[in-house]
Structure 1
Amino acid sequence: MTTTLAGGAVLRAARPGDEPGILACIRELAEYEREPDAVETTEADLTAALFGETPAVFAHVVERDGAVVGIAVWFLSFSTWTGRHGIYLEDLYVRADQRGHGYGQALLCRLAATAVERGFARVDWAVLDWNAPSIAFYRSLGAFPMDDWTGYRLTGDALVTTARGGAGADRV
């Protein structure tokens, strides 16, 4: 489904050929989030993840004048409590010079519509505590923080050590 937005932009599912624009948005988002050197993803990684034989990651893009100017990259989650899938929004980003046209809201509305259409229970995402503009935007849509939950992550050496059964894996 393609939706026409303000300024002649269109919102649509990502398709092969969008990888350079998606990656550019990911890099800009990392810079905004004060982690400009953290992006390891390549166009080839995006091709495999989004368009491979069994994709487990999905994306919607806003395209304007032939260029990707906004992205929503997401994957399915699952709630054992509801017994239903949900959507986990990994990245939502609209290029700075394209903000104010409603593109971010359109992307979130599309994800919410996808969840409703498919009978999913929810849409979840994380936002940095200092990102006041995004927090205000999300709250304006009726989203709320999960204050009683703290996210955890295993990566790098800790991931490898834990995979080998070390570093306290026997304490649980």
Structure 2
Amino acid sequence: MIRTAVPDDVPVIHAMVRELAEYEKALHEVRATEEQLRTALFGDHPAAFAHVAEETGEVIGFALWFLNFSTWRGVHGIYLEDLYVRPERRGGGHGKALLTELARICVDRGYERLEWSVLDWNKPSIDFYRSLGATPQDEWTVHRLTDKALTTLAARP
């Protein structure tokens, strides 16, 4: 079952964010707290949204996403920040169901893109995404400013 996340889901979503970061060999980079997630998802001005996969009353996966905008298409799209299904529950169609729900939201709201990033070494995920018809955008490279580089640039006159 796929459903919109509710505030009571925040602790398990936070735990799975950490599990995903550990899988991606980046647990040391996770700074987000449960309270930050709660505010982002359910505060006065939500900046992100989440859906969860539930099986026999237990949350076993999630998709956390936000709106982006294409100046070329002139409409919003969805950027999928994280998709995660606990390893022991993979292969049951939960990841596909989460992506299907996001695709439905796109179509229902007139959004024209559903996008996400995947680590180059994550072959199981790449194969899964390709099986759904997703195409890699090889000609684009993600760039990021964080920490000292971000504050240094912000401090420039």
- State how far apart, in whole Å, the 1-side matches of 2:128 and 2:2 are: 19
> Following superposition of structure 1 onto structure 2, how do residues 13-162 of structure 1 map, counting pairs within 5 Å?
13-162=4-153
* Aligned-partner Cα distance in 2 for 1:15–1:137: 27
CA distance in 2, matches of 1:79, 1:101: 33
- Give CA-to-partner distance per residue, 1:76-122, whole Å, 9 cap, x none: 00000000000000000000011111000000000011000000010
3-state SS, counterpart of residue 49 of structure 1: helix
Deviation string, structure 1 residues 34-88 (Cα, Å, up to 9, x no partner): 1122211111111100000110100000122332210000000000000000000
Which protein is bigger by CA-based radius of gyration?
1
Q: What is the deviation of 1:138?
A: 0.3
Displacement over 3 Å in runs of 4+: none
With normalisation by structure 2, the TM-score equals 0.97
Mapped to 1, the partners of 2:40 and 2:53 lie a distance apart of 19
Unaligned stretches of 5+ residues in structure 2: none
2: CA distance, partners of 1:19 / 1:64: 17
Q: Does the residue aligned with 1:86 lie in a helix, a strand or coil?
A: strand
CA distance in 2, matches of 1:67, 1:25: 13
Aligned residue pairs: how many? 157
- State the identity %: 59
TM-score, length basis structure 1 = 0.89
AA partner of residue 43 (structure 2): G
Query: CA separation in 2, counterparts of 1:47 and 1:35?
Result: 22
Residue 47 of structure 2 aligns with an amino acid whose one-letter code is A
Distance (Å, rounded) in 2 between the aligned partners of 1:39 and 1:78: 26
Give the Cα separation in 1 of the matches to 2:56 and 2:17: 19
Does structure 2 retain, via aligned residues, the 8 Å contact 1:21–1:67? Answer: no
CA-atom RMSD in angstroms:
0.9
Unpaired runs of at least 5, structure 1? 1-9, 167-172
Structure showing the higher helix proportion among its residues: 2
